[in-house]
Amino acid sequence: MATSLPSSVTEPDVIRVLSYNVRSLRDDHAALARVITACAPDLVLVQEAPRFFRWRKKLSRLAAATDLVILSGGAPASGPALLCTLRATVERTEDVLLPLTPGLHRRGFATATVRFGGARLGVLSCHLSLDKKERYAQSGLLLDRLADMGVEHAVAGGDLNERPDGPAFRRIAATLQDCRAVAPWGGESTWVRTQPHSRIDAVFATKGVEVLGCGVPLGLPGVTETDLRAATDHLPVLAALRIPAS
C-alpha cells in the first residue's frame, strides 16, 4: 500500500484525479471546498452537481472557491460534471444524456478531452443508476463512450451505486484498471452513513496509465474527518496517475 500520494507539483507527469459526489451542494460548502483544496486535484469528477435553479451559478461558486474552472456537465449531463485546474489544456467537451427508463432518474456522462503537457487524456464522470438492470446497461455505455473518444489514455470515475463485486462494477473493471485495487492508499469505504460501510465510488484508468495510489484521502494534510462528514454524504476518491505522453 502506498504510504503517500505523489504530487503533480513535484512530478510534472503526474496528475491528481478526485471523484466526489457533492449531493447537489446541499451541505457545508466551506467544508467541501476545504476538502477539495487540500486534495490539490488537477481534475475533479463531480457527481450530483446542481441541476436546477441557478445550477450554473452554484457550480461556478464551487469552482471559484477551489481555484478550479468548469470543464463540462451539470444540468446538461443530468448531474455529473468536470472541473479542472488551468494546468489542463482543453481540446473538447461533451455532455451525454443516457437513455431514459420510465419512472427512473435521467442519467448522463460529463466528458472531455484534455492535455497535460505532452499527455492527452479522455475524462468521464458518471453517476450510475440505483436500478441494477439499468446500471449494468449504463456500465456498457460508459465503456462504449470511452472507446469512441479516440484517445489512447482515459480516466473515468464516479458514484457507481454498487460495490466491487457487483456486475456493473466488475464489467468496467474487466476493461479498465480499478485504481484503488491496483494501488491502494488511504481509506477504502466511500459510503459510511449506514452499515455496512462500502466502496461504491471509484476511479478507473485505461491500461497504459500508471496508477501510483488511490483511495479516500483520510489523513491527508488539510483533510479532517469533521470536514468530510460535513461536506456531503459520500467520501471522495483521490488518485495519483502518471499519464504517458501521446
Q: DSSP H helical segments within the chain, as ranges?
A: 29-39, 55-65, 132-148, 167-175, 179-182, 225-231
Tell me the one-letter amino acid at 129: S
| Residue 19: φ, ψ to 5° | -110, 130
Query: pLDDT tens across 37-58, in order?
Result: 999 999 999 999 999 989 999 9
In the chain, what are the domains?
A: 14-242 (3.60.10.10)
* DSSP string covering 2-20: -SS---TTT-TTEEEEEEE
Cell of 154: 482515459
User: Tell me, what's the pLDDT at 44?
Assistant: 98
Query: What's the pTM?
Result: 0.96
Query: pLDDT tens across 155-198, in order?
Result: 999 999 999 999 999 999 999 999 999 999 999 999 998 889 99
